[in-house]
C-alpha cells in the first residue's frame, strides 16, 4: 500500500530532489545550446535566467520528490524508494528546462 503524502511534505526524497533540481537547474538552460554550438561559455550566457531556473527547478523538484518518494517506497523499500523518488523528482524539472533550452537553441534567428 502506498502512502499519500501531503503537498510540500518534507522528507528525504524532497531533500534529494531539491539538491539535484537546483544544482542541475542552474546549468540546464545553457546545456543544450553549449552542446549544439560546442561552446562551453554558453552555460553561463544568461546568468539571470540561470538563477531563475535554479529557484524554479528547486521548488518544483521539492514538490515532485516529496510526492514520488513516499509513493514508490513500497516497491524499493523505504530508504531506496525515497532516494529513487528524489532523483526522479529532481530530474523532471531539469529535463523540462533543458528541453526549453533546446527549443531556444534550434529556433532560427
- Reference 28, options 95, 105, 103, 108; nearest CA is 95
Rounded average pLDDT over 81-91: 96
Q: At 56, which helix (H) or strand (E)?
A: helix 47-76
Residue 3 has pLDDT above 80, yes or no: no
Q: With bands split at pLDDT 50, 70 and 90, how would you rate the model's confidence at 30?
A: confident
Given this model, what pLDDT does residue 4 score?
81
Residue 6 has a pLDDT of 84
CA distance 36 to 21: 22
CA distance 92 to 98: 10
Question: How far apart (Å, rounded) are the C-alpha atoms in residues 97 and 27?
Answer: 9
Domain ranges of the chain: 12-106
The answer to whether residue 64 scores a pLDDT higher than 90 is: yes
- Cell numbers standing for residue 66: 516529496
Work out the percent of the chain whose per-residue pLDDT is above 70.
Answer: 97
**What is the enclosing helix (H) or strand (E) of 50?**
helix 47-76
Amino acid at each position: 500500500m502506498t502512502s499519500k503524502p501531503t503537498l510540500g511534505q518534507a522528507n528525504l526524497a524532497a531533500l534529494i530532489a531539491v539538491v539535484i533540481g537546483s544544482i542541475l537547474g542552474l546549468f540546464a538552460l545553457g546545456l543544450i545550446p553549449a552542446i549544439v554550438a560546442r561552446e562551453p561559455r554558453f552555460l553561463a550566457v544568461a546568468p539571470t535566467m540561470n538563477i531563475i531556473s535554479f529557484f524554479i527547478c528547486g521548488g518544483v523538484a521539492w514538490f515532485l520528490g516529496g510526492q514520488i518518494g513516499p509513493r514508490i517506497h513500497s516497491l524499493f523499500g523505504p530508504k531506496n524508494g525515497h532516494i529513487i523518488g528524489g532523483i526522479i523528482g529532481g530530474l523532471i524539472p531539469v529535463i523540462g528546462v533543458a528541453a526549453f533550452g533546446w527549443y531556444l537553441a534550434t529556433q532560427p534567428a
